[in-house]
A and B are shown apart, each in its own frame.
Chain A
Amino acid sequence: MFDKLKERFTGTLEVAEAHCDGPCGVYDPAQARIEAESVLAMTKKILDLKVPEGDDAKAHAAYHNTLTRFIVIKEERAELAKHHLMVLWTDYFKPDHLAKYPDLHETFWKAAKLCSSCKQEVSLQHAEELMDAVKKVHEMFWGSKGKDVAWYTAS
């Protein structure tokens, strides 16, 4: 009884959660888009990197250091892109979304595969296809919420 009176007068009520697993409203394909953009940027940088001419040890060390950093970033970002796509696929999207987007599973499956390809290869084509796939996810996601959110990129 005392607890009830305290509740009533202090407003400290117990919580009933009406959540989705991620706190509601935090899903956003922008996370996958930012990582995919990084993958594309790193792929371009690796392809543009020039092997130093001659036997200058310092120049070769600098080249390998830079190349390694680009590769590491590409690897990490591709994995993060895959993670964010998987969260959207498995946590946000529900079976009833399939009615509106019959190719939902195919889209996510291909996008996840492209993340792996971008790690294994230095492929501008696959990095650009990953961006296209993330754009399609963006359109499905916001379409499922009935919102018209324009696609944009940071770079």
Chain B
Amino acid sequence: MENELPDATWKERLLYFLGRRQAFLIEGSSMKPTLSEGDAILIVPRSQIEINDIVLAHHPYKESVKILKRVSQINDNGSYILLGDNESESTDSRTFGPILPKEILGKAVCRLK
């Protein structure tokens, strides 16, 4: 299934240890069924973002909060429409609008087991 995140390979784990990947723990269920609460993922910082990527971004109104959503659309001005996979239980661009590129922290590449 194209929406699924692959499990981390040894190469991704090595890159994580070398500081080229960042690990995050998922809280909440807005990315179900792709990701559930308690899952851990690896993020590639400052990566090229495409539609359907899962990205980590600053919450537009809560400075200390980082959110994980899927890129649904890239607008002409470069901003991103982010949606949760579990749309009925997600607060995302439908509520807070497009996210600017500078707010995107990275792209999810795999899950840690």
A86 to chain B, nearest CB (A): 15
Across chains A and B, the number of contacting residue pairs, with CB separation under 8 Å, is 86
Q: Name the contact of B24 in the complex, choosing from A4, A15, A94 (C-beta under 8 A).
A: A15
Number of chain A interface residues as a range: 20 to 34
**Complex interface bits, A124-155 against B, C-beta within 8 A gives 1, otherwise 0:** 00000000000000000000110000000000
Inter-subunit contact B88/A144 (CB<8 Å): yes
**A21-B90 Cα distance, complex, nearest whole Å:** 8
A119 to chain B, nearest CB (A): 29
Chain B interface residue count, Cβ-Cβ cutoff 8 angstroms: 34
Known: A1-B19, A14-B66. A21 touches B95 (CB 8 A): yes
Binding site for A on B (CB under 8 A): 16-19, 22-31, 35, 37, 40-41, 43, 56, 59, 65-69, 84, 87-91, 94-95
Please list the 7 inter-chain residue pairs (A to B) with the smallest Cβ-Cβ separation, ordered nearest first: A19-B28, A16-B24, A13-B25, A18-B28, A16-B68, A18-B31, A18-B30
